[in-house]
Amino acid sequence: MGKLQLADVENEYKKFPELKREDVQKIREWMEKQPHLPKISDLEIILFLHSNYHRIEPTKKTIDENYTCHTHVPEFFANRDITGTEMKTALDIVVIVPLTIPTKDQYTVLYGKLLKSDATDFSFESCLKFLLMIADVIQRESGAVHGYTFVLDMEGVTMGHVARLAIGTIRKFLHFLQEAMPVRLKGIHLTNVVPFIDKILMLIKPFMKKELLEILHLHSKAETLYPFVQKECLIKELGGNAGSLMEIRKTFNQHMVDNRDFLIELEKVKADESKRPGKPKDSGAIFGMEGNFKKLDID
């Protein structure tokens, strides 16, 4: 796969006729008047516009929120060396890969699962960081797509993993996902659901909007997943045609390593609060009171 091959901007206009050059220009002109925001490419503007169904004002809000989060959530957007200790550990613990066969609705499928059931080295923050790094790569390569569906296989998840979920991390990630990420998210599917799923839902539901809750689906068996993600779209281990999970993982993780410099460079692409017109934002203004939540004690 090698180095990042950016999607062709001209092709984006052909893929989605509702995408207008004048709208990209409007966003460009608006950004030039926002001294706190970074300079971004036309492709990146297109991703933001597309995720907001080409509405100008919501696109502006998403852009500002995105780069503000990049500044105020270093646990996701700093120290992104894919070959560093943190990320190498994450890659040994979890597999997250895009699958090559889209659904019948032309949605791109991301598949994730734990590789180790031992929670000793599990870092929820690092796994989420890896997911966001993957999104940074595949979105720039694929350009705008009809939507993304995330399938999380819960096999191997234990109460030890749940105990390592921090409320603050959950809050920040779900805020970014719902308010700042340039993506049309069409489904979140949890398969091989664990008996203690209610405890996990208790943690995440307070931070989920109605729209996100509506696309969250729980599956105790694969058959109930097929209407959303057809069997042929899935990995070989689940009876699909997308290839062997470990082979996909090996190829894709190497692709991420090949783009190490790009991912590190993205650490600089964030809001500069010292230049924001009006009052600078801080974490409290974005996420509300975080309290002193660290780890959770769950019976």
Identify the structural domains of the chain with CATH numbers, from first to last. Answer: 94-125+140-247 (3.40.525.10)
Note the pLDDT of residue 160.
Answer: 97
Give the per-residue pLDDT at 295: 40
Alpha helices in the chain (DSSP H): 9-15, 21-32, 42-51, 56-72, 74-77, 85-93, 124-142, 159-162, 167-179, 197-204, 210-214, 245-258, 260-265, 283-287
Q: Which pair of structure tokens corresponds to residue 1?
A: 């796969």
Q: What is the pLDDT of residue 298?
A: 41
pLDDT, residue 18, reads: 96
pLDDT of residue 207: 96
Instruction: List, for residues 111-145, the tens digit of each pLDDT value.
Output: 999 999 999 999 999 999 999 999 999 999 999 99
List, for the chain, all residue ranges whose pLDDT scores fall below the cut of 70: 1, 289-299
Predicted local confidence at residue 126, as pLDDT: 97
What pTM did the predictor assign?
A: 0.93
Report pLDDT for 282.
81
Q: What is the pLDDT of residue 291?
A: 39
| pLDDT score for 273 | 95
Strand 148-153 vs strand 185-191: parallel, antiparallel, or unpaired?
parallel
